[in-house]
Amino acid sequence: MEQRKLHANGPLCSRIICGAWRWHTISHEQLDRLVQTALDAGIRSFDHADVYGDHSNEELFGQVLRRNPGLRKGMQLITKCGVKFPSTRRPSTRVKHYDTSSKHIIWSVENSLKMLNTDVLDLLLIHRPDPLMDPHEVAEALSSLRSDGKLLHAGVSNFTISQFRMLQSYLSFPLVTNQIEISLSRLDPFFNGDLDFLMEQRVSPMAWSPLGGGKTISADEREVFQMASKYNGTYSQLSLAWIMKHPSTIFPVIGTTKPERIIEAAGSFDIQIDRQDWFGILKWVTGKDVA
Ligand SMILES: NC(=O)c1ccc[n+]([C@@H]2O[C@H](COP(=O)([O-])OP(=O)(O)OC[C@H]3O[C@@H](n4cnc5c(N)ncnc54)[C@H](OP(=O)(O)O)[C@@H]3O)[C@@H](O)[C@H]2O)c1
């Protein structure tokens, strides 16, 4: 599996990233096996958020590292902050909202470090664009976390082009990614300028729900999608390879809870779809030829 920098300044991540959103649904033993399978397949980057699993998934992952302390060295830990929702674990939150205040970002990172059982985050993403975001405050928080050695890199998620550009203009270091939804069931970024902009910035995108959260994978579609057998791959491998062919160097963030599907996803990296088949798949999804 290729390891590649998101931006010239780093971080070096595996070209396919494992996402932890659904990991509260499996046992500790299954999670240990999932993480080890990913590492064995060369998938060394793990995507978290403070809120995943009703604020429990970072801690579950931290327990994996506690049981296997040697694992941290060979992996990159990514997490997110800024979303708050009512939960028994967060009794003071009355209504779902965003909080990108300096105080909350710093508190959230320090809490994530504790939960993940690590001293430093490789990458922090501001999870959602906050209409009340004060870029001075975000810049102050990120700079202080970086100078304290608690954070190596920063990025964003679900930001528009103007939100990315605005926040970047307040920072003395680069935002290294925008993690956005990209899949065969969400094609907008290919056409709305999001990927063009990231290429202009020399920043690699991350694709969340790259298999559409599993919803595009039905037996019927598998039949229709005969291209997979031409490439000796599966439907999901071809879906990931299709995303990764884009010249913006998209890093898919996969969400499976099954070790065999992690190995399957890793195999997608070796599939090189030719240009005509790429457009053939686009046509199959949109139902029409390009103009
Ligand atoms: N930044 C954001 O706002 C944001 C939002 C959503 C997600 N994310 C990130 O993106 C990650 C991935 O999201 P996702 O879980 O929706 O991604 P996904 O990879 O598109 O979907 C994974 C889901 O598809 C199912 N699936 C069915 N067939 C599969 C196959 N052949 N191979 C793989 N999976 C198959 C999986 O079930 P099994 O578990 O049974 O395999 C799982 O439920 C999350 O973990 C999170 O890190 C970020």
Question: Which residues are the active-site residues?
Answer: 52
Domains and CATH numbers, the chain: 3-219+247-271 (3.20.20.100)
Model confidence at 221, pLDDT cuts 50, 70, 90, reads low
223 or 260: whose pLDDT is higher? 260
CB distance 177 to ligand 1 below 6 Å = no
Tell me whether the omega of the peptide bond preceding residue 11 falls within 30 degrees of 0, making it cis: yes
Which residue's CA lies nearest to atom 37 of ligand 1? 256
CB distance 208 to ligand 1 below 6 Å = yes
pLDDT at 71: 97
pLDDT at 109: 98
Measured distance CA(108)–CA(86) in Å, rounded: 16
Of the residues 98, 254, 262, which should be mutated to test ligand 1's pocket, given the most ligand atoms within 8 Å of the CB?
254
Position 11 pLDDT exceeds 70:
yes
Model confidence at 214, pLDDT cuts 50, 70, 90, reads confident
Question: Per DSSP, which regions of the chain are E strands?
Answer: 3-5, 12-14, 17-19, 45-47, 76-81, 83-84, 97-98, 121-126, 151-157, 175-181, 206-208, 251-254
For the entire predicted model, the pTM comes to 0.96
Model confidence at 265, pLDDT cuts 50, 70, 90, reads very high
Amino acid at 40: D
Measured distance CA(168)–CA(110) in Å, rounded: 23
pLDDT at 220: 56
Which residue's CA lies nearest to atom 29 of ligand 1? 214
Q: Centre a 10 Å sphere on the Cβ of residue 178 and count the other Cβ atoms it contains.
A: 26
The strand pair at 76-81 and 45-47 is best described as parallel
Mean pLDDT of all residues in the chain?
A: 95
Tokens standing for 210?
Answer: 């790259």
Residue 52 near residue 20, CB atoms below 8 Å: yes
Of the residues 25, 56, 208, which should be mutated to test ligand 1's pocket, given the most ligand atoms within 8 Å of the CB?
208
The alpha carbon of 185 and the centre of ligand 1 are apart by a number of angstroms equal to: 13
